[in-house]
Structure 1
């Protein structure tokens, strides 16, 4: 929940323009204009989250103070709170397809949160210093884009069948059947299940659940009634929606509907 003296009106949000946008990679910069420190719950999202702490003092605390500073959150990290946030930070969302190709770590990250240098390696501190020294968000986006592109070009891509399955899952908003996906790529259900899980860290069925819940969460956040959200998102009924949202996010649909993490998604992550 938000600190009592803090609201999104106290935060400047910047997004990349033009050349700074990369397929499967989304970035947003946040700058808090008040001295209030924030404790905010993160809601599960179908991406790997990189958060660069660019504050000048204090630093972001994550996972009940277990981590301080820049961190990486994998898919399905469980209930997660970022506290002590003040100053500036750069958040990068990576499709798990991109994250797996870039770090070879999407599978290992699923269900976990880790310090940035544990995932990024020895260059993490250098990159953070460059981001801090940049004068504008456009400069920061360009620096991050160049570094991400370099890392992506240095590693082989994941199986195109796995990448296709993820894209179909996202485009359909999780309303897909694994048998149909396997047929699409010419693999058996068992082979698709095995390769998808080994490269992205979760099964195709779990991926569909995560994407479906993300769609439902955004509908709830803009005020749609749970019963209507359940029908639009492909759930059998409202109780099915309740169970799946609680399983994926760790909180109820009512709590998701008022989650501050989703309150400015249309600004930070425009469709």
Structure 2
């Protein structure tokens, strides 16, 4: 079976160079202006920061409520809908190794949650929105956001070295890492690794590994790779196992997931050279 990808619903601008901050990747988004945006988002193994500065603010809906404007989500935030028109924003994907410091919040509290940036940053959220709206080019906007992220990262706490090593091993192994082996490698008990990792990354290590496998699998399907091969390469027992995991993460079938325009944006906004590195 092959899946057909829809056209993107966004005009996307990427920075001319990777961020100087390890674990940061950003892109600029502007809706086409032809039809209002109505797009499903998918879970991803990075925290997300959306800095809105358009004429109208994006609206994010899920079963827990509705949010409008600049916002942040934790690692693996669930399926939601983004709606609106005349939207312009800078979206930042943050490695969990720096996300807590940048956002000024515990990633464990942000797991599967949406938080308005006004609630996290107070007046600073309004100031960055104003400065982005006043700035005339995407290059200047990216530089402005990068300076902001660097300052906030420097003021926040760093994760435990053991958590850093565990996350990098899980990412580098595409989620195909035994947690018991990982605990031995970092020199912690399994219980301690589980507790500290969840507190600092926002998910327990096994769930983080599952999320990374899911993310790799849906992008493989969207690229037109045979589902049986995707399942095998991503560490699933078979296609049925892959199907169940996708439904568990998104609430819809693999066919429906790959038909979402969210994935059509991914290769444009987050090309391999710029994606959150596996080592961060």
* Same fold flag (TM > 0.5): yes
Determine if the alignment matches structure 1 residue 100 to structure 2 residue 100: yes
SS of the equivalent of 1:264 reads helix
State the 1:79 CA deviation.
2.3
Structure 1 residue aligned with 2:74: 74
Mean Cα deviation higher: 43-52 or 60-69: 60-69
Contact 2:101–2:155 (CA<8 Å) still a contact in 1?
A: no
1:114 aligns to 2:100 (yes or no): no
Aligned partners of 2:167 and 2:173: how far apart in 1?
10
How far is 1:233 from its partner?
Answer: 0.5
Q: Deviations along 1:87-117, whole A, 9 cap, x unmatched?
A: 3111111111111232232111001111111
CA RMSD of aligned residues (A): 1.7
Residue 151 of structure 1 deviates from its aligned partner by 0.5
Q: Using the alignment, how far apart are the partners of 1:78 and 1:15 within structure 2?
A: 25
In 2, Cα distance between the equivalents of 1:53 and 1:61?
11
Aligned residues: 264
The equivalent of 1:25 in structure 2 is 24
Task: Show structure 2 runs of 5+ residues with no match.
Answer: 1-5, 273-280
The residue that corresponds to 2:218 in the other structure is 217
- 1 or 2 for the larger relative contact order (CA 8 Å, sep ≥6)? 2
Q: Aligned residue for 1:238?
A: 239
- Following the alignment from structure 2 to structure 1, what is the Cα–Cα distance between the partners of residues 202 and 10? 34
| Change in CA separation of 1:85 and 1:217 when aligned onto 2, cut-off 3 Å | farther
- Distance apart, 1:69 and its partner CA: 1.2
How far residue 19 of structure 1 moved from its aligned partner, in angstroms, is 6.6
2:83 is the alignment partner of 1:83: yes
- Are the counterparts in 1 of residues 74 and 107 from structure 2 also a CA contact under 8 Å? yes
Residue 52 of structure 2 is matched in structure 1 by 53
Displaced runs of 4+ in structure 1, greater than 4 A?
A: none
Q: Check conservation: 1:35, 1:86, Cα contact below 8 A.
A: no
Encode CA deviations 1:37-87: one digit per residue, 9 max, x unaligned: 110000110011111222113x21111571111111222332211111433
Query: In the alignment, is residue 206 of structure 1 matched against residue 207 of structure 2?
Result: yes
The CA distance in 2 between the partners of 1:165 and 1:20, in whole Å, is: 23
Q: Distance between the aligned counterparts of 1:33 and 1:233, measured in 2?
A: 34
Q: Is the CA contact 1:36–1:86 (under 8 Å) kept in the aligned structure 2? A: no
Would the aligned equivalents of 2:46 and 2:76 in 1 still touch at CA under 8 Å?
A: no
| Whole-Å separation in 1 of the counterparts to 2:242 and 2:122 | 39
Of 73-82 and 134-143, the range deviating more from structure 2: 73-82
Instruction: Give TM-score scaled by structure 1 length.
Output: 0.92
Aligned to 1:38: 37
| CA distance in 2: counterparts of 1:124 and 1:140, whole angstroms | 15
Task: Determine the structure 2 residue equivalent to 1:3.
Answer: none
Aligned residues of 1:246 and 1:252 also touching (Cα < 8 A): yes
Which range moved further: 133-142 or 21-30?
A: 21-30
Residue 43 of structure 2 aligns to a residue in which SS? coil
Greater Cα shift, 26-35 or 207-216: 26-35
Q: How far off its partner does 1:141 sit?
A: 0.5
How far the C-alpha of 1:248 sits from its partner, in A, is 1.8
Contact conserved, 1:221 with 1:259, CA < 8 A, in 2?
no
Q: CA–CA distance in 1 between the matches of 2:54 and 2:34?
A: 12
Deviations 1:145-165 (A, max 9, x none): 000000011122011111111
Q: Secondary structure at the match of 2:25?
A: strand
User: Does the C-alpha gap of structure 1 residues 68 and 254 become closer, same or farther in structure 2, counting only changes over 3 Å?
Assistant: same
Q: What does the per-residue CA deviation read over 1:229-271, in whole Å, with 9 as the maximum and x for residues that have no partner? A: 1011010111111111111222221112222111121211010
Shift, 1:35, TM fit? 4.2
